[in-house]
Amino acid sequence: MTARPQLPERAARTKGAPTALDGVVVVDFTRVVAGPACTQTLADFGAEVIKIENPEGGDDTRAYEHAEIGGESAAYLSLNRNKRGIVLDFNVPAAREVARELIAKADVVVENFSGGVMKKFGLDYESVTPTNPRLVYCSISAYGRKGPLATRPGFDPITQAESGFMSLNGFPDGPAVRTGPPIVDMATGMSACNAILLALLARDRLGRGQHVEVALFDIAMSMTGFYGMAYLISGANPGRFGNSPNGSPTVGVYEASDGPLYMACANDRLYRRLVTEVLERPDLVTDSRFVDRKGRTANKEKLRAIIAGVFASDRLENWMAKMKKANIPVGHLRTVEQGFNAPEARERHRLNRIPHPTAGSVPNIETPLNMSLTPVIDPIAAPLLGEHTDDVLRKTLGYDDDHLAALAEAGAFGKMRTNNAVPDRPVPPSNLR
């Protein structure tokens, strides 16, 4: 059995430092990846994010099987930090009314249900904005909320396939390959977060909120980047190129005698340094076949074989030292285990552990965003299912014991009373007034 990595406790943020999104309230109806990734970033920087889940199982990622700790999955923990969790059964009218009351006090709503679900429950933008015209309402879907594809379900790998993005991944002689991590989901979450922040800025000038839409298909298409643009200009369909864009013999994976490296030597200046200072083959500069980029591409298989033979003659450590001295862009080709234990991860304080009520502590991967004046809040692990139901409804909506009991009796919190509040567990701060 693989040993669990030993992680340091997370250092506390600067005492008294402000947060970027203090006072911003987000009602979060999202689940799985794209939506939770978006709202986690908002929560990391001080927004109060109230995550609403179905009491019968909650967010689908709670059941994902990558790994689990303390009864919570790795997927769920990785996407729901710093949120306050409540449960509501929208099949119960009283629960829908609670959701509407929360939305009336919110700055932002984020949802990624299938098309028509929010409208069915009277929680869509058109239904709720009359009582809260300053609301920024973000809808995340596969194909948008309007038009003939609005009700069509879709997921990250489907949009990778349909947009052309997947066709660019893999080797020329093999099939198209989806990315391992759900890159379209993650990029959609980032884009949705950007769109929400843009809408909040616009609200300050215009005095009202707006409906924001982000679709996985649109993001996947945009991520074809300059390959998509090249097709539009030339009409030539771009294909797969593995680890070497356009077949470049000086970009890609090479094997030293004891392990792989990835090199990105993409221009004439770097090429000359590579072959003279690192490979000690000055003849590769003067050889007419390799004298410029066009020639190197035309003779890429010959040049690649020569370079591969030289790299195979010495150890990885020695090549890395030579290439770094010559300022050649190069990196170790690491596994996740190696990458997470690498000096870059340690020096940049990317990994730590934070308290958790059922696991004692859980691993934490720091947000990649850094702000000098308004740093991220001290992280609190993702909430247990329904953990903050009573607390949120008391503090946010002023409900008393009788009101909470009546809602429970009506089934608003599911078939069983769900309140997993942990007395000694810190909770993200409440911004609602």
Cα separation, 138 vs 125, in Å, equals: 9
What's the mean pLDDT in 130-144? 97
Which pLDDT belongs to residue 433?
39
* Sign of CA pseudo-dihedral 428, 429, 431, 432: positive
pLDDT reading at 357 higher than 90 = yes
Q: How many CA atoms lie within 13 A of 114 on its CB side?
A: 5
Return the percentage of the chain with pLDDT > 90, whole number. Answer: 88
Which pLDDT value is given to residue 426? 66
Pick the closest to residue 45 from 393, 377, 386, 381 (CA basis). Answer: 377
pLDDT tier for residue 333 given thresholds of 50, 70 and 90: very high
CA atoms lying within 13 Å on the CB side of residue 52: 24
Q: Which of 123-132, 243-252, 341-350 shows the lowest per-residue confidence on average (mean pLDDT)?
A: 243-252
- Residue 11, pLDDT > 90, answer yes
pLDDT digits (tens, 9 = 90+) for 160-188: 999 999 999 999 999 999 999 999 999 99
Residue 402 bears catalytic tag: no
Query: Shortest CA distance to 76 belongs to which of 381, 351, 425?
Result: 381
Q: Which of 89, 107, 185, 390 is catalytic?
A: 185
CA distances from 194 to 26, 37, 212, 275, 338 (A): 14, 12, 10, 43, 32
Q: Tens digits of per-residue pLDDT, 68-112?
A: 999 999 999 999 999 999 999 999 999 999 999 999 999 999 999
pLDDT on residue 432: 46
pLDDT at 270: 95
Percent share of the chain, pLDDT over 70 = 95
Output the 3-class SS for 321-377: HHHHHCCCCEEECCCHHHHHCCHHHHHCCCEEEEEECCCEEEEEECCCCCCCCCCCC
Distance of CA 425 to the CA centre of its chain: 26
Query: Residues 418, 389: contact at Cβ < 8 Å?
Result: yes
User: In sequence order, which residues have a C-beta less than 8 Å from that of residue 51 and are 6 or more positions away?
Assistant: 28, 30, 36, 39, 59, 80, 83, 84, 85, 86, 383
pLDDT at 378 over 90: yes
pLDDT at 44 over 80: yes
In whole angstroms, give the CA distance from residue 70 to residue 111: 28
The domains of the chain, with CATH numbers, are: 25-224+343-410 (3.40.50.10540), 245-334 (3.30.1540.10)
Does residue 422 carry a pLDDT above 90? no
Please give the single-letter amino acid code of residue 114: S
Q: Look at residue 358 and tell me whether its pLDDT is greater than 70.
A: yes
What's the whole-number mean pLDDT along residues 405-410? 97
Q: Locate 319 and state its tokens.
A: 């090549």
Helix boundaries (H) for 176-315: 183-206, 216-222, 225-234, 268-273, 283-286, 293-298, 300-311
Q: For residue 48, give the DSSP letter.
A: E
pLDDT digit string, tens, across residues 188-199: 999 999 999 999
If we measure between CA atoms, which residue out of 148, 152, 279 comes closest to residue 216?
152
Residue 274, token pair as written in the block: 């590579």
Strand partners, 354: 362
Contact 345, 339 (CB under 8 A): yes
What Rg value do the Cα atoms of the chain yield, rounded?
26
Using DSSP, state whether 254 is helix, strand or coil: strand
pTM score, whole prediction: 0.92
Residues in a beta bridge with 111: 139
* Tokens at 374, concatenated: 């308004």
pLDDT, mean of residues 300-316: 97
What span, in angstroms and rounded, lies between the C-alpha atoms of 260 and 279?
16
Q: Are strands 25-28 and 48-53 parallel, antiparallel or unpaired?
A: parallel
